[in-house]
Amino acid sequence: MPDAPGRLLATYRIDAPAGEIRARAEALAVEQSVEMPLAAIADERVRGEVVARVEDVRAVEGAHEVVLALAADTTGFEASQLANMLFGNCSLQPEVSLVDVAFPPDYSRAFRGPRFGLSGIRALVHAQGRPLTCTALKPQGAPVADLARLARTFALAGLDVVKDDHGIADQAYGRFAERVPAVQRAIDEANRETGGHTVYAPTFSGGPEALRAQARIARDCGVRMALVAPMLVGLPAFVSLQAELAGPVMAHPAFAGGRIAAPLLLGKLFRLLGADATIFPNHGGRFSYSRETCLAIAQAARAPWDGIAPCLPVPAGGMTVERVPEMRADYGEDVMLLIGGGLLSAGERLAERTRAFVAAAAA
Amino acid sequence: MPDAPGRLLATYRIDAPAGEIRARAEALAVEQSVEMPLAAIADERVRGEVVARVEDVRAVEGAHEVVLALAADTTGFEASQLANMLFGNCSLQPEVSLVDVAFPPDYSRAFRGPRFGLSGIRALVHAQGRPLTCTALKPQGAPVADLARLARTFALAGLDVVKDDHGIADQAYGRFAERVPAVQRAIDEANRETGGHTVYAPTFSGGPEALRAQARIARDCGVRMALVAPMLVGLPAFVSLQAELAGPVMAHPAFAGGRIAAPLLLGKLFRLLGADATIFPNHGGRFSYSRETCLAIAQAARAPWDGIAPCLPVPAGGMTVERVPEMRADYGEDVMLLIGGGLLSAGERLAERTRAFVAAAAA
């Protein structure tokens, strides 16, 4: 087995005293590969080609960064095992965080990346040269007819994408099989009236059988986009589902917080695993991500990557129409602005505020 | 819709100043249910029956604990949506941790819990009135014949369960389809020679198609136990897979670290979702869980729970034969002791040390 498949360079932050950091790094290399005493490994090939290597140890503010070279073969070129080798056992070690991963040149070929990506979503909604606009149907528990009416209002106002709230799933008060066709019909009707191209992205959730059934229902009623939380359905299920979807998939960050850096997980990894768009909590809203972190997520989503299409960044989480100019200045035009509660709080002036959002993004 | 399905009482720890904690708790209740301004919800039923309620706010050391009552219906009685409502968005808020959940009386009926559980595993390996013993086949990358030979040594020594290392998946150097039947054959042969009942638990990993294929291969060659990391394959895929397995499933904690308390996630939730056994990093090994946390995990796994069978706790992570008496004192007899590297480091005296482990557990 040659070393040809290469190694992933994974950067970890470790909180450990300087005097212990080299030993701690070596222990992490063992933990994230063979997980056994090296002295007990007789096989030279395993020691040389399977055990992770410490490539670098450097002091950073208040901690150390350690770069491990993980043998690509150990990841099985599959999503769950990739996550396992990057952060499986050390997720249980609170002093360790995963900061970034550099993949060897051919690694991304094992994964497809976005099938549609940023440009595919633009084409779908017929929007060029401006930020895209998105909102969410809320609240869960509202009668299906109310959600459909809400979707119609949004579509008439000219939003590009209307997604389900991430809390909407297949619940007793709004079964996927009833709700999704009703909302899609409402949007289709509005599109016919306006000549517009609003797209609906319902939430897909549950186990493999449920996801397949939802994909069939969605295809049958003309749904052309999907909302999925990869960390809730599981990374490999997120990948598998894509083959059953007629259009792009938008990743939701629910359950994705933790000690994997957000630019790596929400930007780079979700993109590698096929996210055409990735939602993240923008700074200054209900979440505490810094502006720097948010820009890094957008950068990871859109940066050139051999053979992997750009993914559309979608800042969200308490945004308002007033912040549209600032968000454009931050992210440029290749972005989708998601305003949920900030539209709904307009109450009876919902249509008006939605049109203002659309106008601000088109300005 | 009556309130009959009840509410889940979820306890969160929030790091916020005392003067802000009530508002922070109310905001969390909204975040984890309807995720929109309450003033914009006209529907009285949604406000009364879908929005989460703050049930309690109390000061604890250095922070506050907040109890939210989450409407059971919002969880859709399904694993991914349960995780979403408990910790979806607030996983992105580093000041919030999930401490515990109390389920309403009928809630557990929606999930099966362990199909075999602690007593089912005892019956499978013919072991009563003593702790069970377990080890792991390592390292990944070793030739299949070497792993099979290792399994034979362990089975001849009388271990109850031989599992794959969690890093062993479906890799180029040891395909599941070749490796698992070879190891199962080696263990079957050893059992025939000794009259023993050693069981093999291979690692299942990957997407839904891969898991189904692995389950078929495993059934075909007589495998009677499985090792799965629920957080790697995804919680709903973990549930779905069980229908395809011939025997008990042991949950591995890889990728499960974070801000959900370990007793809740590795103990209570994995058990609710069907784990017959749950591996966790014992105190004093390579991981930093406290003794108190470890005992709480075992307690959550085994405590009486209406209609849900007890789950077998499996302390691991750097254990040694010398610690067997202490672990028995800690956990009692209803436990499976997992020693991996601590056996392998014996080198040429592997069989001897394994027999010492078996004897210590039987003493």
The CA distance from A35 to the nearest CA of chain B, in Å, is 7
Look-up of token digits 């001849």: B156
Amino acid at B70: L
Q: Band of the pLDDT at B1, cuts 50, 70, 90?
A: very low
- Contact list in A for residue B341 (CB cut-off 8 A) is 35-37, 40
The CA distance from A221 to the nearest CA of chain B, in Å, is 23
**In the predicted structure, residue B4 carries a pLDDT above the cut 80:** no
Of A243, A269, A306, nearest to A79 (Cα)?
A269
* pLDDT attached to residue B359: 98
Q: Band of the pLDDT at B105, cuts 50, 70, 90?
A: confident
Contacts with B39 (C-beta within 8 Å, 6 or more apart), sequence order = A345, A347
- Contact list in A for residue B207 (CB cut-off 8 A) is 78-80, 236-237, 239-240
Query: What is chain B's mean pLDDT, rounded?
Result: 96
* Distance of alpha carbon B275 from alpha carbon B267, whole angstroms: 9
- Contact list in A for residue B68 (CB cut-off 8 A) is none
- Contact list in A for residue B94 (CB cut-off 8 A) is 257, 288
Q: Tens digit of pLDDT for each residue in B43-69? A: 999 999 999 999 999 999 999 999 999
Are the beta carbons of A34 and B83 separated by less than 8 Å? no
* Distance of alpha carbon B30 from alpha carbon A121, whole angstroms: 31
Of A186, A188, A171, A181, nearest to A202 (Cα)?
A181
Are the beta carbons of B344 and A49 separated by less than 8 Å? no
- Its ipTM equals 0.97
* pLDDT attached to residue A5: 61
- Contact list in B for residue A207 (CB cut-off 8 A) is 78-80, 236-237, 239-240
Average pLDDT value for residue range B271-284: 98
Nearest CA in chain B to A281: B92
Low-confidence ranges of chain A (pLDDT < 70): 1-5
Calculate ∠ Cα A229-A235-A240, nearest 5°: 95
Whether cis (ω within 30° of 0) applies to the bond prior to B139 is: yes
**Sheet with strand A277-281: strands edge to edge:** A203-204, A226-228, A249-251, A277-281, A312-316
The CA distance from A333 to the nearest CA of chain B, in Å, is 26
* pLDDT attached to residue B184: 98
pTM over 0.90? The answer is yes
Of A353, A286, A351, nearest to A324 (Cα)?
A353
* pLDDT attached to residue A144: 97
A28 alpha carbon, distance to own chain's centre: 27
**Residue of A73, A281, A288 with shortest CB distance to B172:** A73
**Residue of B142, B167, B257 with shortest CB distance to A85:** B167
Are the beta carbons of B83 and A255 separated by less than 8 Å? yes
Handedness of CA A256, A259, A260, A266 (dihedral sign): positive
Half-sphere exposure of A91 toward its Cβ, with a 13 Å CA cutoff?
26
The CA distance from A146 to the nearest CA of chain B, in Å, is 10
* pLDDT attached to residue B5: 61
**In the predicted structure, residue B133 carries a pLDDT above the cut 70:** yes
Amino acid at A161: V
Q: Are B148 and B183 in contact (CB under 8 A)?
A: yes
The CA distance from B329 to the nearest CA of chain A, in Å, is 25
**In the predicted structure, residue B138 carries a pLDDT above the cut 50:** yes
* Distance of alpha carbon B28 from alpha carbon B36, whole angstroms: 11
